[in-house]
Amino acid sequence: MARVFVVDDEPDMVDLLATILRSDGFEVDTDTDGRSALARLLADPPDLVLLDLMMPDLDGMELLKLLRLDSKGANVPVLVVSARSGHQDQLGTLQLGANAYICKPFSPRELVRQVRQLLETSEAETNA
Amino acid sequence: MTRRRVLLQTRIARHIAFAVVVSLVLSALVLVVFRHQAVRRVMERSARTFTSLISLPLTERFGFLGSGGKGLLDQYIVQLQELNDDVERLEIVDVRGNVFLRAEGNNVILFGDGIEPPIVTDRELLRAISGLEATAVQVTEADGSDAYRVVAPVVKQWGEHVYSVVGTFTYANVDRQLRSSLWLSALILAAGLGLTHWVSVTLAGGITRDVDVLRAGVMRIQEGRLEERVSIDSGDEIEELADAFNLMADELVATIRQLREANRELETLDQTKADLVANVSHELKTPLTALRGYLELMAEGGLGSISEESIRAVMVCRKNVERLSLRVEELVQLSRLDRFTSLDSAREEIDLKSILDGIIDTFRPRMEGGGVHFVLQVQPELRTLEVNPEQIERVFLNLLDNAVKFTPTGGTVLVLAEACDHEQRQGVLIRIQDSGVGIPPTELIRIFDRFYQVDPSSRRRFGGMGLGLSLVRSIVEAHRGAVWAESEEGTGSTFFVWLPFGDFGRDGVNHGGPSVRLEEADGDSKAVREA
């Protein structure tokens, strides 16, 4: 079963995301702090990362940048979860190396659809 | 500017020249009239003195004629005449009027010795000759010229008055002198005129030079070089004017600085406001996401089965969360538009038809469900628009949402798009027409205002914070377009969106294609909003 890593400073959000994904059969790891999350991600890369952008200390953008700099994290698919819905914000995140973008507030179904789609694409790339 | 400056200098020069010319002409007149008289008086006095002085010696010589002979007399008379430049003729006449001697220059004629002496017939002259006192009178000569005649009776001793000497003097010399001085003064006058011209132009230039300096200073300020000042040290009103001008420039600079500071503060405030809205929306969206997520999981049984009543309650919660989410998104859109940032950075060339098709597809299920007929007509081969697609989509989304919302079952929503000129600019006009309740004319002008809703009760019925149309207006105006509405109560409303073709930074570029004039509707029920 695919392993998804959820990074969000909001415990309720982490809880929700984990609940949604677990109920759909995913294995879920979580972290509410950017720095420790980065360390864990690089130590044991998951199949997919759900990343919140606005976090204290190390925010989502910085984390994404650092993740992509490391060879272990360079190819992990990242789905960004953000409250910012602007065209420019989305574009910026994708340029930094995110694979997809989902705006708050989203529906669980939409989230699961996006996660599955990303995993399929990533699997196809790995096999190819 | 230049024309004015020349005028000022010429005007001053003209005044100076006028004053000088008048004084010169006056002095010339004085010379001619008074000097002429005075010079003649001098000549006349010398003529009288001369005649009186020579009368006695001359007649004595004439009496001694026998002893000296005519040659000596002639020589004597010629010498006498040389003493006075003006003497023309000397005559010796007896009291009865017989002329005995007449001398004109070298020509000395003696009468009596065989030559019949001419006789004076002039009564006045006869009286003068026979008198005992010397007399003088101005006469006119046979050739018409003026002459001065002096009669000096020779009285040797009491009662012995035989001869008188008559001297005739010409004014010719005096007049010639006067004429030459007249010429001289005319020459001086002419030279004076030239000099006056030069002096007056120079003087006027001196006065206007300071004005020029001042003008140059004003021009510099006009060009935006606000730090420059005018330096004039003339000690007169122009210096005062320059000082006043400098003060004004100081004030101007101070005011501009204040304005800039105020503007900077406003910009900071605006940025703070935008940041605040962004943060608030983030703070609102995260809890909304949690709410929405759990509610949806509950509704779909993802968290275990719950009772029918609970499911209905969850559905109500979900609906309200959706509404909250929509309002938050509207607020975010509006705050972003206020900053005009997203507009400039995200322009794309779009095909209007594909945008309208896309939006209408999303509405189709809702319209069909509500029994609303729908018609879309887009003029074929319409040019592309250069716009922010996200925002323009939002415009039609909001307008169509309104149209569908207010159109009752069985009604029609009509969307028409065609090329159309607006205020000499080419663009496209899109009409969105519904057959709803309509908008009262008094309300029509205000519907585009922020937070305004026609009927407070509609807020409850149809939802929304009144941001929809104000957002539409903000977006269209940011694209240099115009939006307005016409409505008839009970019949329906029509919203008009006009957008310029191509780059909205460059207007009026003709790319051909058919176009129609914008029809003016009756002003009462029409609200126009333009950029």
For residue A12, list chain B residues with Cβ-Cβ distance below 8 A: 287, 290
Give the pLDDT confidence of B107-126 residue by residue, as tens digits.
888 887 677 788 888 888 88
**Interchain contact B281–A (C-beta under 8 A):** yes
Model's pTM, two decimal places? 0.45
Question: Do residues B120 and B128 lie in contact, with contact meaning Cβ atoms separated by under 8 Å?
Answer: no
B468/B332 Cα distance (integer angstroms): 12
- Contact: B332, A85; criterion CB under 8 Å: yes
Q: Which of helix, strand or coil describes residue B108?
A: strand
- Residue whose tokens read 């003008």: B215
**Interchain contact B346–A (C-beta under 8 A):** yes
The distance of A122 to chain B (nearest Cα, Å) reads: 26
pLDDT score of B225 more than 90: no
Burial code (b: 16+ CB inside 10 Å, e: under 16) for B85-120 equals ebbbbbbbbbeebbbbbbbeeeebebbeeeeebeeb
pLDDT score of B154 more than 90: no
The distance of A124 to chain B (nearest Cα, Å) reads: 29
- Contact: B290, A12; criterion CB under 8 Å: yes
Give the pLDDT confidence of B175-188 residue by residue, as tens digits.
888 888 888 888 88
Rounded (5°) CA angle B365-B367-B368: 65
- Residue B344: band (very low, low, confident or very high) from pLDDT cuts 50, 70, 90: low
Higher local confidence (pLDDT), B136 or B20: B136
- Residue whose tokens read 């405030």: B269
Question: Do residues B166 and B91 lie in contact, with contact meaning Cβ atoms separated by under 8 Å?
Answer: yes
For residue B321, list chain A residues with Cβ-Cβ distance below 8 A: 105
Burial code (b: 16+ CB inside 10 Å, e: under 16) for B456-486 equals eeeeeeeebbbbbbbbbbbbbbbbbbbbbbb
For residue A104, list chain B residues with Cβ-Cβ distance below 8 A: 285-286, 288-289
Partner residue facing A104 (CB), from B286, B336, B346: B286
Mutate to test the interface with A, among B279, B281, B283, B289 (most CBs of A within 10 A): B289
- Contact: A105, B288; criterion CB under 8 Å: yes
- Residue B333: band (very low, low, confident or very high) from pLDDT cuts 50, 70, 90: confident
- Percentage of chain A modeled with pLDDT above 70: 96
Q: Please give the sequence-ordered ranges of beta strands (E in DSSP) within B394-525, or none if there are none.
A: 412-422, 425-433, 482-488, 492-500, 516-517
What's the Cα-to-Cα distance from B345 to each of A88, B386, B427, rounded to whole Å? 8, 12, 22
Give the pLDDT confidence of B267-302 residue by residue, as tens digits.
888 888 877 877 777 788 888 888 988 998 888 887
Give the pLDDT confidence of B348-360 residue by residue, as tens digits.
788 888 888 888 8
pLDDT score of B525 more than 50: no
Which of the listed ranges B9-18, B260-269, B430-439 does the model predict with the highest average pLDDT?
B260-269
pLDDT score of A116 more than 90: yes
- Contact: A20, B297; criterion CB under 8 Å: yes
Rg (CA), chain B: 58
Q: Which of A121-125, B53-57, B325-329, B332-336 has the lowest mean pLDDT?
A: B332-336
Partner residue facing A83 (CB), from B282, B290, B390: B282
Mutate to test the interface with B, among A107, A110, A111 (most CBs of B within 10 A): A107
Give the pLDDT confidence of B198-214 residue by residue, as tens digits.
888 888 787 778 888 88
Q: Which of helix, strand or coil describes residue B528?
A: strand
Higher local confidence (pLDDT), B510 or A83: A83
pLDDT, average across residues B367-393: 82
Partner residue facing A13 (CB), from B278, B289, B345: B289
Q: Note the pLDDT of residue A55.
A: 84
pLDDT score of A89 more than 60: yes
Q: Note the pLDDT of residue B508.
A: 40
Higher local confidence (pLDDT), A44 or B522: A44
Partner residue facing B293 (CB), from A20, A84, A86: A20
Q: Which residue of A has its CA nearest to B388?
A: A87
- Contact: A107, B293; criterion CB under 8 Å: yes
- Residue B346: band (very low, low, confident or very high) from pLDDT cuts 50, 70, 90: low
Q: Note the pLDDT of residue B272.
A: 83
Taking CB atoms and an 8 Å cut-off, how many pairs form between chains A and B?
Answer: 65
- Contact: B321, A105; criterion CB under 8 Å: yes
- Contact: A16, B336; criterion CB under 8 Å: no
Q: Which residue of B has its CA nearest to A12?
A: B290
pLDDT, average across residues B506-515: 39
Q: Is B6 left (phi over 0), alpha (psi -120 to 50) or beta?
A: alpha
Q: Which of helix, strand or coil describes residue B132?
A: coil
Please report the ipTM that was assigned to this predicted complex.
Answer: 0.80
Q: Note the pLDDT of residue B173.
A: 87
Which residues on adjacent β-strands are paired with residue B506?
Answer: none
Q: Which residue of B has its CA nearest to A54?
A: B282
Pairing verdict, β A48-52 and A78-82:
parallel
pLDDT score of B531 more than 80: no
Q: Note the pLDDT of residue B75.
A: 86
pLDDT score of B386 more than 70: yes
For residue B291, list chain A residues with Cβ-Cβ distance below 8 A: 105
The distance of B380 to chain A (nearest Cα, Å) reads: 30
